[in-house]
Amino acid sequence: MTSFGSVRIHSLGGDFVGCRIADLRCKEVVNIKDGARLGFVSDLEVDTVTGKVVALHVPGKAGLGIFGGGDNYVIPWEAVCRIGDDIVLVDFEFVPRPPRPRKSWI
């Protein structure tokens, strides 16, 4: 199956099943390590030479207002365990960045 806007996903049975990128964006990503709900897929990273999916991008939780924001998750494709009807299960070890030093306004 080759069509624009689709990725090939390997099922456990060894057959390939199609999944559109638009369908992935409607699926919530859940980490099986700690059960954390990471968010929804916002983008895919594709190797243009091989045509294979390299990573899923999931935006982090927003902070205060429009200026704050959490860390964005870039989840390697190898960490994807299963893609279900409405969720994507990943086995992902997230290492948070150290907090930025706060500026003193005084």
CA 72 to chain centre: 9
> pLDDT tens, 45-95?
999 999 899 999 998 765 444 554 566 889 999 999 999 889 999 998 877
Helix, strand or coil, per DSSP, at residue 76: strand
What is the rounded end-to-end Cα distance, in angstroms, of the chain? 62
* Number of domains the chain is built from: 1
pTM: 0.67
Q: Nearest-CA neighbor of 89 among 7, 34, 30, 21?
A: 30
Q: What is the reported pLDDT for 12?
A: 44
Q: Would you say residue 46 lies in a domain?
A: yes
Structural domain for 46, as ranges: 27-90
Q: Would you say residue 34 lies in a domain?
A: yes
Q: Would you say residue 12 lies in a domain?
A: no
Distance CA 64, CA 29 (A): 23
> For 6-10, 26-30, 62-66, which range has the lowest pLDDT when averaged over its residues?
6-10
Residues near 17 by beta carbon (within 8 Å), at least 6 away in sequence: 9, 11
Distance CA 33, CA 87 (A): 15
Q: Would you say residue 42 lies in a domain?
A: yes
Q: Would you say residue 8 lies in a domain?
A: no
Domain CATH code at residue 52: 2.30.30.240
